[in-house]
Structure 1
Amino acid sequence: MNIEEALRIIDTVLGSKGLNNVQEFVLRQSWQNRSYAKMAAESRYDETYLKYVGFKLWKLLSEAMQQEITKGNLQASVERHARTLAQPVTTPGDPTCSLTDLVPEAESPETLNQANLHVESALSDSATTATIATLEKALSQPQQDWGEAIDVSQFCGRSDEQTQLKHWIVQDRCRLIGVLGMGGIGKSTLSVQVAEQLSQADLNSFDFLIWRSLRNAPPPEELLVDLIQVLSNQQETAVTLPPGVNGRLTRLLHYLRQARCLIILDNLETVFESGERVGRYRKGYEGYGELLRQVGEFRHQSCLLITSREKPKEIALSDGNQSPIRSLLLAGLDIKDGRAMIQQRSMLDAPDVDWQRLVEHYAGNPLALKIVSAAIEDLFDGRISRFLEYMQRQKGALIFDDIRDLLAHQFERLSQTEQEVMYWLAINREFVSLNELQSDLTSTPAKQTLLEALRSLGRRSLIEIKAGHYTQQPVVMEYVTERLVQQVEQEVSLFNISTSISTLFFNHYALIKAQSADYIRATQVRLILTPLIDRLLSNGKPWLEQRLQELLATSRHQPGYAAGNSLNLLRQMSVDLSGYDFSGCYIWQADLQDVTLHRVNFAGADLSRSVFAETFGVAIIVALSPDNMLLATGGNNRTVCLWQIATGQKLFSLSGHTGWICAVIFSPDGKLLASSSMDQTIRLWDTQTGDCLQVLVGHTDVIWSLAFSPDGQWLASGSDDYTIKIWQTATGESVQTLREHTDQVKVVASATLSGRQIFASGSDDCTIKIWDAATGECLDTLPEQPVLVKALAISPHGLLASGGADCQFQLWDLTIGRRLSTSIQCHYPILSLRFNPSGDRMLSAGANESVQIWNVQTGQCLKALSGHSSGVFSADWSRDGQTIAVSEFNSTLKIWNTQTGHCTRILKGHHYAIASVAWSVDGQAIAVGDAAGQIRLWNMATETSVAIGKHDNWVWALDFSPDGKSLASGCFDCTVKLWDLETKQSVILPLPAQMVTCVAFTSSGQYLAVGYYQQGKILIYDRVAKTVAQTLQLEKAGIWSLAISPDDRYLVCSGEDAMVVLWDLQAGKCLYTCEGHISQVHCTAFSPTGNCFATGSYDHRIKLWDRATGDCLTTLMGHAGQVFCVKFSPDGEWLVSGSSDGVIKVWHVETGICKLTLCGHADGVSGIAFNSVLVNAETKLQQLTSGGRDEMLKIWDLSTGECLKTLRACRIYENMNIIGATGLTDAQRLSLQSLGAVEETPI
């Protein structure tokens, strides 16, 4: 018997009680005979607590199976219980179970084993890292997530159907129920009405209730992540879950067994292929069928209810009165209920016979009755009899087969403007404002009559209206969308050069809106663009490409969406657009973020509302304006950017800083933006004009954090110079310098407490201090923290949250100066914390691929905003609590709606800054890793490069194996890859999924040292044994660099706490710690003899250390910026250093004299490597390669200091011509130029 079979037996025995996450974890580990100590080590649970859980578990199982069960006899006891059962788990005729509940025949043993691995991984890496009290408390409280459920406050009728569904769900405990019927018949409203009744306190028997609409056809993988996040109390996310449908279904079924859940999926028909046989799933949506099959077949204690116009075959095959799978076919409303529903919304009145004829004619279809009753009021003076007489005179008018017939009839009666509005509402896919509809329309008459058209459509019941926003019911939206696709298909197919482009739908409507929220744009691609392409490709791809080029030529200088639509279609077809001519075209709503546009001509084009790639590099910090209109970002490109949140348009690129931007913050009134930098200055900017108003000078090191006082009069800054400065905002004067910290100050925060304005500061001295903003008095020093403080936030109620590298945040009550007992685990080093405006919610983010929202009072994770592809540098919460902005390690910005949990906008920064370089062993090639995750090999003979592969983030480290056959790469995407240089294929080494900063081979090539930022550890990986041979652990700081001595005996490493540590690899112990640097030590290197090593620091200094004693031999000063890299020459005579100031210095090791200063890089130098070129039999030329954040690779002659070559990879918009192009802000134009765009007059 395996563990899965045992779990099914135990689930059956326990019934509705089930096992919670912790109990299942203990059970699985005990099944494998693992000790409690080992469980604790793997899960981070306390060993004593796990023993207590085990004690309670064995007692529970003993009572349920009526035999004594212990950890030691667990397997034998469960097997014995299975044999003694009179019936093997199921009972013939029992409608709630079958043999397939125990043995799912469709799954192979291999599939189950893989699923089990995912289960164990999820339990150990995700669910089990939460605090036990939090998890168990969350599991015990019923949770409801209504998604986009509609308002049913005016629900009418269907009492029998409600009773039937509730009986199936509560009494019969059906596992799968389908509510079926034609469009508009009321399936959605009935599902919400029943769910609301079941959610009432006296009826609620569910631990979870989830309602989801499928009208935008989310892929099954995404839906499963959404459901599992809710059911796991946000413990499992897209990051921790297996990637495919099967693995995720395994986890979903786990939760459906563990808790009593009611899940409702509305509009399932959207995932079916239209025009095909009933129940055939769209390509890529077959996972929905597997979801229905497994939920219906496998035993659990939950219920999945779907609504659909089509009956899924998974329900049709097993539907029956004695089955746990049921279906309800909705008929129309009866005469009484139909009349009551209409009279809720109108003043219609008539004799009973007229009401009978009206309701029967439209088969009691609620939507049809709403639409036709509006027409009766408008056109027939509210008299049903006149309407019926008119309909009788129309040929075939009294035939009602489907709601689509009525919609087609109604659509033809609409005015031109009303039809345009209907098409735009279908394109927009969700509630939109009047202003947005106004901007969508192309014709002046339509814009002038828009408000009247909306009122008319509202009266006709063709649109939904809520708080000044407009949308359509799903059945109406589907009908209008299909009508749009059919019309555009016909236009493109029949187009010829004599056709007037201005009359075409193709020119009047955008098929996708590049400026829409990202999830809406993805839906537009799925439901409009892709179906249109599939239909048009029947004539072949070459024909379609040629036809789109003809449409482009005809649309030149014609306002409208034709050119943008053509470009979006070509992009979706993966056509190479290099060299295309779009000059003079109106390129509206084109999504060009990830499109290579080499030599494309946009001269004189109108690029309004199109979206391009951006160049903000790595946005280290983000801030939202108080009015939630603007987003400020700052990062490694030394520029502060201001963005319009609604459109994603860059408004300003604010230049002036000469170092990385470390902090940005808006003043409380939003009129000022403050920024700080590694250049040791603070700048104040006017948010309306982008002008720099003041430059604040006074700090002597990096300024990491800023905070305005609540009234905006003061600005606090925290620096690596160990001080906090208080500045007067109006004058820019430094009025206080606070010096009580004994190490670098990383974070500051502000609040009002008991009428007094305060600042809080967190430092690398592991303390938090509270200051009076006006006087500078230190009011309190909170007890020392266990780790460096990386994030602070203060709530309106005086709670302070602090977080750091120990993967948890602490809460402090500042009114009494004490830490609360709550310590909340986050599973990742915390870099950002924010309270919401009311102070009852907390946002946490850091070195993980999700942002979490917590209930401050209970410590429960309420929501995990997953979907991030890398760790998070910074996050901010808007003043209204509706928006969260996030910056990722991989140059991506995301805007989230906290109400819906949707990511509304993604801004991708294309940045090719070089992060690492390495010469090949034979000296013929240079490997380069960049900020975009790309690894390129440059052939020095041909000066050309080839991309051998990609990571998903900064490639911080590269090293060739001594035999020259392999290349190791380490990345912030938490992987180490080993590349075969002959095949260009890679393998991911089986190492922890944590951010990698450095890699180095030993001289034998058997071992690879890997340094991690997150937990300050180094692993020595054995390539032969394919396992970790040794682990070196620092106490607090993350690792930034390492170097191995030439004899492989010693390893030196450094990190962010200014410490340098030397290890004896043979003994596996720390020999000594070198102290002397006063800031982060970013780089290390051993000399060729191994007698000394060099370190370079953010304190602008380089130090040489004696390897035998650990003494500092000399300190080299001369750089004006942080030292990013150091390297000894092969003969050991010279030491070369590269800095954030863009300068390379060549030092004589023996004397410490700087021989050469090499200038040429426009930004920091992040990587250097040596190569010896044989000039003749006696002479070797020492060449140096340098890679910079300016994306340049330079080759230098060290004998003369001459730059021999400058190499650069092609950028995404290389030689794209934008001369005379309109619709771009100055900031956007600069971004495009930095990505390769040019402004050249066409010849």
Structure 2
Amino acid sequence: MPPTLQDLLKQEAPARGVSDDELKTLLMALDGKSADEIAELEGLSSVAIRKRLGKTFTKFGITDKGPGKLQKLQLLLQNSNNLLTPVSTAKSVLDNISPQQDWGEAPDFEPESFYGRTEEQEKLKHWILKEQCRLVAVLGMAGIGKTTLAVKLAREIEDEFEYVIWRSLRNAPLPDDLLKDLLEFLPHQQNQESATDFNSNLSDLMDCLKAHRCLLILDNMETILKSGDFAGHYEEKYKNYGVLLKRIGDEPHKSCLLLTSREKPREIVLLEGETSPVRSLSLEGLGAAAKNILQAKGLSDENKWERLIKLYQGNPFALNLIAKIIQELLGGKVADFLDLSLTVVLKDISVLLEDQFNRLNPLEKQIVYWLALEPVSLSIAQLQNKFILSIPPSDLLNALKSLNDRSLLEKPAGTFTLQPTVKEFVRNQFIDEVCQEIKTASSQNELNLLKSHLLNNSPTQGDTKEGKTSSICSLVKEKLYMRRDFKTGSEIVEQLKKLLASVQGKSKFEVGYAEENMQNLLEELEIGNG
């Protein structure tokens, strides 16, 4: 029977001047115990254990300050020809060892610009290191900080793994290509069919995850999920990603796949649980920690910061953009910005939200339009009553579940709404589409949103400048004038009257809210022209 790494270490330790305590600590590290676990067993602090390990690694010629020292020691021990050789020889061997980490497209981690997330980070570390979770998802809407947290976490726990691989799915690689890419880096016994067969490659990967402690990170998983369907479903050519997740979550092994996504993949939904090796963490806004962003940008009016943070729900990406605008254009005065508008959806934020919005299926879009038009949150019963044609409760619940899995809903006291930035974006989308319908429709058959959603002409609080009121009809009127699709207000009135005539006398099941909407818009235009 060939000697184990532990046997080889015991043979080599005396020649390296390794003390009994150092050997004991190093043996526990080789057995897969973390520094925290060793510290608890030894009755020492984690810092003391790390210092002891660092000193011991130096005796083996492993002097670099970065991660991966344990993996280099393992490789050094596995190469029996290099045992009992001087430090200089050991160092030359280590220089020729292939790197055990491939960070791919992982962004640089900048500690000075990372705020908060202590609780979330500790929870993820506990799941991965203590509970040995095999599949962990970090979820949240665009800009909430999923990738940044994943980078920080992975950098902190990398020493606990033999291999670390980061891959971005932003460019949507096919599952076969991803597997081949991973296997090129990881040690494995290649099956004869592996060169072309997905299942054989996946079996090779699973064998490697069982034999070695590996940390795989897949970033931006939403890019391989299907648009226009409920959340978490795959495009046809990406369905094998589901097979990959299921096997990693189902089968026992010593590794972990950490993924980030704006949507929760179906396999996570089906496999996760409090005692399961599959978990997910949905990121909320930064809260009070977001003040650090505003402070770093040198903004004034600190008594207004909390309100600004609330408007953007602590989204770090949005707050960084807004803070930059306030600094560059308003001299850093938060109060002046808040006087301009309740929320401002900048172009860069709109691009992120538009991508997420375009992924919704038709029923999800209908729901978010209603939530964007209402000034207050809606219960399921209230939402169901908004639809002209009855929606089966199961369909409505599935759509709400899907929106929740996309991190788009807020759920105060059992009701549903959208956060302010999302709400304004969706409302703007709705108004643009309604204006386009008014411009192009020649009969009720060409109406869509004007049939399905009610344009209320009663004022609602908090839609424009603080202290003022507006209505959806007034916002549509303003947009019609801004678009200049019609030369005069009279042309708009004429078009609305033509559309009104096409829906009058017909049942509500046929034309929905269209007749009421035309009357409300005409009334709004008459008020504006009066």
TM-score class, shorter-chain normalisation, is 0.3 to 0.5
TM-score, scaled relative to structure 2: 0.47
TM-score using structure 1 length: 0.21
Q: Which is richer in strand?
A: 1
Of structures 1 and 2, the one scoring higher in RCO (CA 8 A, sep 6+) is: 2
